Structure 1
């Protein structure tokens, strides 16, 4: 993970499971089913705190992760894209999803494929 993301706050997998109120097995299924994305950060798998809002996975994240995967974007690349500011969106895709701009984020994913 790029050091430029060291300013983000991260959950360990056990902290994320607690925040979501689920077992570690259920958390692993949420990651496998692309409701959440975890990458190694500081040597451990971690999930950005911005991906869990009010005890739930960020709305729109699953579809965005699926679309990214369909375009051949691997997990660490997807994480970098989700956390970095996007020129088209004017904010990070994560922030745009938090603002309810799911369609704009999906259009931005489509532009990555061009």
Structure 2
């Protein structure tokens, strides 16, 4: 969390709120809580990430599964969902995510 506070330049309370509001997602891997750095663009959470996280969680995905799905190449999209989100292809990513329910 201290690294996340530094990267976002936000107080710890605000960082926790970003996680609670699904603006960011992370998980404990190797004992430490981690948020993939690709989820942060120019010191802010990727704006299209929140809705995608919510769609996946509504489909029953846990935090680890959401992160894994976002980072792995999806055959339907042709690239990883996070890369598609970074390219502005939010609707396509969410449409694919909705089919996973």
| TM-score (norm. length: structure 1) | 0.84
Deviation at 1:42, TM superposition (A): 2.0
Match of 1:42 among 27, 30, 42: 30
Instruction: Give the deviation of 1:61 after TM superposition.
Output: 0.3
* 2:94 matches 1:106: yes
Q: So what's the TM-score if we normalise by structure 2?
A: 0.95
Q: Distance in 1 between matches of 2:35 and 2:74?
A: 20
Encode CA deviations 1:51-89: one digit per residue, 9 max, x unaligned: 000011012100001111111111111111011111111
How many pairs does the alignment contain? Answer: 101
CA distance in 2, matches of 1:110, 1:66: 10
In structure 2, runs of 5+ residues without a counterpart are none
